[in-house]
């Protein structure tokens, strides 16, 4: 495993950027100023394992302008491979910091995804917490991939940031396929962030987040995630195998 020119570490084939939260935010703001359409991904161990068997997702992640370490497993893996990252940059926390900064700077936000009414509730919470937030559009995630009206709505709204909550890997693939048509400086897949902001899902207590146990909290709250969580031990074993062979 080696670091490349973008200051990233290759974790099982996915290039993960070695940035802190402040550095990530600074980079996103530079993207907004540059105005070129870009995809940002926040990768956890489950997503990286998914990419092992999904070449399209792997290609999207490695074509993204930033892939941030969202998950204790990815932070651990980077250190194990010899290129530690400064900290975990969780997608939910990054979104909150982006919204706060957007309210301060007037960046335009478009909310896309989740069930009907959820994005509206998430926007209402954000507008309350970050006065001055400029929302230019809201659309739920119930649309067909070929529905061009969604893209037309986003293009007409001219957001600086598109928050896309369609779930992994649908959100990353949809953004990649439509990136040039959307013409948004910062597009980012935010998974279940809208649900948490809307109060439909509870996030793990801070001490569990800090201890790298957020995955356990999710499993306890949603036992149906058990099969998906089997990706975590497989991730650990594969990282250890790679670390061993590259000694």
Residue of 223 and 141 predicted with greater confidence: 141
The structure's pTM equals 0.90
Tens-digit pLDDT profile for residues 114-172? 999 999 999 999 999 999 999 999 999 999 988 899 999 999 999 999 999 999 999 99
Cα separation of 195 and 31, whole Å?
27
Cα separation of 119 and 53, whole Å?
31
pLDDT at 1: 35
**Cis ω for the linkage preceding 39 (within 30 of 0):** no
Place of tokens 């909290």: 217
pLDDT at 226: 52
Task: Give burial (CB, 10 Å; 0-12/13-18/19+) of 176.
Answer: buried
| Mean of pLDDT over the chain | 91
What distance separates the 2 farthest-apart alpha carbons in the chain? 52
For residue 86, the 8-state DSSP code is: S
Place of tokens 């890997």: 169
Segments making up each domain of the chain, as ranges: 8-245
Cα separation of 11 and 58, whole Å?
11
Tens-digit pLDDT profile for residues 28-60? 999 999 999 999 999 999 999 999 999 999 999
First to last CA, the chain: 10
Task: Give burial (CB, 10 Å; 0-12/13-18/19+) of 197.
Answer: buried
pLDDT at 149: 95
Report, as an integer, the average pLDDT of 10-16: 97
Tens-digit pLDDT profile for residues 52-98? 999 999 999 999 999 999 988 999 999 999 999 999 999 999 999 99
pLDDT at 3: 39
Tens-digit pLDDT profile for residues 180-208? 999 999 999 999 999 999 998 777 677 76
Token digits for 15?
Answer: 């290039």
Other Cβ atoms less than 10 A from the Cβ of 211: the count is: 12
- Cβ atoms of residues 176 and 154 within 8 Å: no
Distances (CA, A) of 5 to 9, 61, 70, 176: 10, 16, 21, 23
């Amino acid at each position: 495993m080696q670091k490349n020119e973008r200051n990233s570490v290759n974790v099982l084939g996915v290039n993960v950027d070695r940035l802190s939260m402040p550095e990530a935010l600074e980079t996103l703001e530079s993207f907004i100023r540059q105005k070129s359409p870009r995809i940002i991904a926040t990768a956890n161990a489950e997503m990286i394992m998914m990419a092992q068997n999904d070449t399209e997702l792997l290609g999207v992640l490695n074509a993204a302008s930033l892939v941030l370490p969202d998950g204790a497993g990815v932070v651990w893996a980077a250190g194990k491979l010899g290129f530690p990252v400064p900290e975990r940059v969780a997608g939910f926390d990054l979104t909150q910091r982006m919204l706060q900064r957007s309210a301060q700077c007037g960046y335009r936000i478009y909310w896309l995804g989740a069930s009907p009414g959820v994005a509206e509730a998430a926007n209402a919470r954000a507008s309350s917490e970050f006065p001055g937030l400029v929302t230019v559009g809201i659309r739920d995630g119930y649309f067909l991939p070929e529905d061009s009206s969604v893209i037309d709505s986003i293009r007409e709204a001219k957001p600086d940031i598109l928050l896309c909550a369609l779930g992994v890997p649908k959100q990353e693939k949809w953004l990649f396929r439509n990136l040039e048509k959307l013409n948004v400086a910062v597009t980012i897949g935010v998974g279940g962030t809208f649900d948490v902001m809307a109060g439909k899902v509870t996030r793990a207590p801070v001490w569990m987040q800090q201890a790298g146990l957020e995955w356990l909290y999710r499993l306890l709250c949603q036992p149906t995630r058990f099969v998906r969580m089997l990706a975590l031990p497989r991730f650990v074993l594969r990282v250890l195998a790679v670390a061993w062979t590259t000694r």
